[in-house]
Structure 1
Amino acid sequence: MARPRKFDDDEVIDRAMDAFWTNGYFNTSPAQLAAATGIGKGSLYNAFTSKRDLFDRALTRYDMLGVEFAEQHLSKPVGTREAIAGFLRSLIEADLAGPVRRGCLAVNTSVELAAQDPEIQRAVQRMQEHTITALADRIARGRRDGDVDPDVDPRAYAEFLMNTIVGLRVMAKTNDAPMLHRIIDSALAGL
């Protein structure tokens, strides 16, 4: 008879996500995962089958948290530029506030794994698509409300902003807030 689990899957996934986010997939050892989660390697692999399964679940969790974060910022009852600026500034402020400047787990994963792993490539594209869709919806709303130029293509501008987000998250690893804020201001000037 199997013993009942004495841990919460979501909490374990969150802790594993932090380990992967800080170290990368390949540089996170099973011992590091056990230490980060507080669960023995055997129990960890019994619960999640493999390091890759745990990583996939961590990416799914990161995506869900990202969707919630975007919704929280982009649904605010303010102008479109202000809502998007708040979203972008909050992303980089979180990056700058940590003890280690980790950037974005999706961007880091794309750089580390996407070229050799089609499943990872698709997972990162799904995450990016969620952000692009949220941005495009907010820009389209801004066009309807009259605070975005009617000639702006919401999808194309959202794709441009997604590219800007990726760049900001990488640059936040080595640059200061004033420079990153200037980039955000420049990116939003076309709205």
Structure 2
Amino acid sequence: MGRPRKFDEDEVVEAAARVFWGGGYDGTSTDDLCRATGLTRSSLYNSFTSKEELFVRALRRYAEERADRQAALLEDEARPGLERIRELLAMIVEDEMEGREEGRASGCFTVNTQTAPVRRHPAVAEVLDTDRRKRLGVLEGAIRAGQADGSITAGRAPAELAWYVNSLVGGARVAGQAGVGRDVLEGVMATGVRALEP
């Protein structure tokens, strides 16, 4: 009979997510993961079998937490559709500013991974594709609600506008990493909101 684990697996995945988020897959070593999680190499590999598996689990955890947080805003039926989108974009700006203030100007883990070579790993691609479909679906729902309540233009297809907002968010994440200030990011988001108005 094996010895019981003496660590919380969720805490290990959370710690690994922070390291991968900052350094990416290729920029994170096993030693980095051991330092962040407090595990030895043997414990790490006995529990997660590989760096790839731990990365996938960390990315999935991050994506699900962010998707849930965004869905809470975008599915709020008490608000007009456009207001939901405006709140989402304001939240993105706050995330970038808080990250910079806390010394972790790491942008978005999923956006960073989309452009990294590890994107081609089938399990990573599956996490990213699932996350993208979920986010686009929730965005599209908010846009349909906005078109129904008159706050969002009915002249464009909801799926097209969902991609537009998704691209706006991704661009803001990258701009935030590049050091763009709050005023510029807020201006970009305001322009994006105006483009959705009737």
Normalised TM-score (structure 1): 0.93
1:79 is matched with which residue?
A: 80
**Residue 110 (structure 2) pairs with residue 106 (structure 1):** yes
- State the AA in 2 paired with 1:56: V
Q: 2:47 is matched with which residue? A: 47
Match of 2:132 among 124, 128, 151: 128
CA offset digits 1:23-66 (Å, max 9, x no partner): 11111111110111122221111111010000000111112112
- 2:81·2:144 contact (CA, 8 Å) conserved in 1? no
What is the distance in 2 between the residues matched to 1:83 and 1:182? Answer: 18
2:190 aligned partner: 185
Q: Aligned with 2:107: secondary structure?
A: coil
1:154 to 151, 155, 158: 158
List alignment gaps of at least 5 residues for structure 1.
Answer: none
Q: Matched residue pairs, number?
A: 191
CA distance in 1, matches of 2:167, 2:3: 47
Q: Does 1:91 align with 2:92?
A: yes
By how many angstroms is 1:142 displaced? 1.4
* Aligned AA (2:7): F
* Gaps in structure 2 of 5+ consecutive residues: none
Helix, strand or coil at the partner of 1:33: helix
| Cα contact 1:113–1:120 (8 A) shared by 2 | no
Is this contact kept in 1: 2:81–2:142, CA < 8 A? yes
How far 1:9 sits from its partner (Å)?
1.5
Distance 1:91 1:40 in 2: 36
Query: Which SS does the other structure have where 1:45 is aligned?
Result: helix
Percent of aligned positions that are identical: 31
